[in-house]
Amino acid sequence: MVQRILEAAKIESLDPSAIPRLRMPERGTVFAARAARLLQLAEASNPIAGYLRLMAALADAQQRILSTSTALMPARESIERNQQHSMPIVPALTDERDPAWRDVLFMLLDIIEAAGALTPPLAQLVARLRTTDAATLDTQADAIIALRFAEIDPAAAPFIVAALQVVWTDLATRIAVSDVPYLDAPGVCPLCGSMPVASIVRVGGTHDGYRYVQCGLCSTEWHVVRAKCSNCDSTKGIAYHAMGTPTDDETEEQRAARAKQAALKAESCDECGTYRKIGYQDKAYDFEPYADDLASLTLDLLMGDAGFRRASPHPWLWPEHVDEA
Ligand SMILES: [Zn+2]
Ligand SMILES: [Zn+2]
């Protein structure tokens, strides 16, 4: 296994035309770019503008902590063990989570509160989180990472996720691409094993024209060829859907032309019945998968009506749990 990893890394470095398989988050800008994009999207008469501005403040707080924090680094031996087994190199689902993640949570709450403009229910939530005991916070973190919906507190989850994102993005910025193994399982982050949010077709540099899906936890992006389901790997039954109101007599060609112009689409898959959003940087340069996914609930409604479900939830927007007996 180790040899296979070395070979893959070597091949990439020898062939300059090879597609870069990973795009690691940039420590100085990752959350700041997200915050800026959320503010941008909050302006254009978005029905959830107020919510997006609050989430922008949360992303700003994440950036402040990431820019000033000291590193949390997992033990070298656990990295090597995971490499040998083609496992995510710093798995989110772990018994060895650094308890410092809870300090990050409290720092986030302090910054958000100091920024002002907390609505009364939000101020209550912040107060509640501050007095929640460590074991309960850890259980919430586990439930979120393992997607055990029935146990997740949807109101508190965005803040808990935000703290975990800071810790795992911190790790991602410190890991060399050549250390990240090729996974046997498709559809999950090779760094932390989490599900991606959305994808982006990038412009410029070595990533030009290639599609990357972005991890919802550690912000690492990995390459997935276009017109392929990022959830189940199928290349059959892939379709694209854009927002906008079709005219009554819209022909199939007109619909296709309208979809072609869109900077944001949903990529659906008939094989697994899910969709994920995809953005085109040549049409919207500041497109940021995490922010744009959160800000485009209208597209989610449209996809729900069309009979598709999200391949994975947005980490800052958890559905209220309903028992499906
Ligand atoms: Zn990840
Ligand atoms: Zn699929």
**Domain residue ranges in the chain:** 2-179, 196-310
CA of 169 to the centre of ligand 2 (A): 27
CA of 270 to the centre of ligand 2 (A): 7
- Domains 2-179 and 196-310 are alike in CATH topology: yes
Q: Which amino acid is at 51?
A: Y
The dotted CATH code for 2-179 is: 3.90.1670.10
Q: How many CB atoms lie within 10 A of CB 26?
A: 12
Confidence of residue 190 (pLDDT cuts 50, 70, 90): very high
**What pLDDT is stored for residue 252 in this prediction?**
79
Which-ligand-closest: CA of 165?
Answer: 1
- The CATH architecture annotation of domain 196-310 reads Alpha-Beta Complex (3.90)
- Identify the CA nearest to 196 among candidates 116, 283, 274: 274
Q: How many CB atoms lie within 10 A of CB 202?
A: 22
Which-ligand-closest: CA of 25?
Answer: 1
Which-ligand-closest: CA of 311?
Answer: 2
Whole-Å CA distances, 112 to 53, 56, 60, 106, 116: 12, 10, 9, 10, 7
Q: Give 200-212 as a DSSP string.
A: EE--SGGGTT-EE
Task: Give the integer Cα–Cα distance in Å for 286 and 277.
Answer: 15
**CB of 243 closer than 8 Å to CB of 298:** yes
pLDDT by residue (tens digit) across 51-100? 999 999 999 999 999 998 765 555 567 777 777 777 888 899 988 888 98
Q: 83: left (phi > 0), else alpha (psi -120 to 50), else beta?
A: alpha
Which-ligand-closest: CA of 180?
Answer: 1
Q: What share of the chain is helix, strand, coil (3-state, %, to 5)?
A: 45, 10, 45
**What pLDDT is stored for residue 321 in this prediction?**
62
CA of 307 to the centre of ligand 2 (A): 14
> Which two tokens mark 246?
């079709």
Confidence of residue 1 (pLDDT cuts 50, 70, 90): very low
pLDDT by residue (tens digit) across 123-145? 999 999 999 999 999 999 999 99
Whole-Å CA distances, 223 to 22, 27, 199, 209, 291: 6, 20, 9, 11, 19
CA dihedral over 46, 248, 263, 229, signed as positive or negative: positive
- Identify the CA nearest to 149 among candidates 316, 301, 325, 322: 322
Angle at 276 between CA 315 and CA 210, to 5 degrees: 110
**What pLDDT is stored for residue 16 in this prediction?**
56
**What pLDDT is stored for residue 325 in this prediction?**
44
**What pLDDT is stored for residue 3 in this prediction?**
46
Provide the b/e sequence for 212-226 (b: ≥16 CB within 10 Å).
Answer: bbbbbbbbbbbbbee
- Residues with CB under 5 Å of ion ligand 1 are 189, 191-192, 194, 215, 217-218, 220
Q: Decide: helix, strand or coil at residue 196.
A: strand
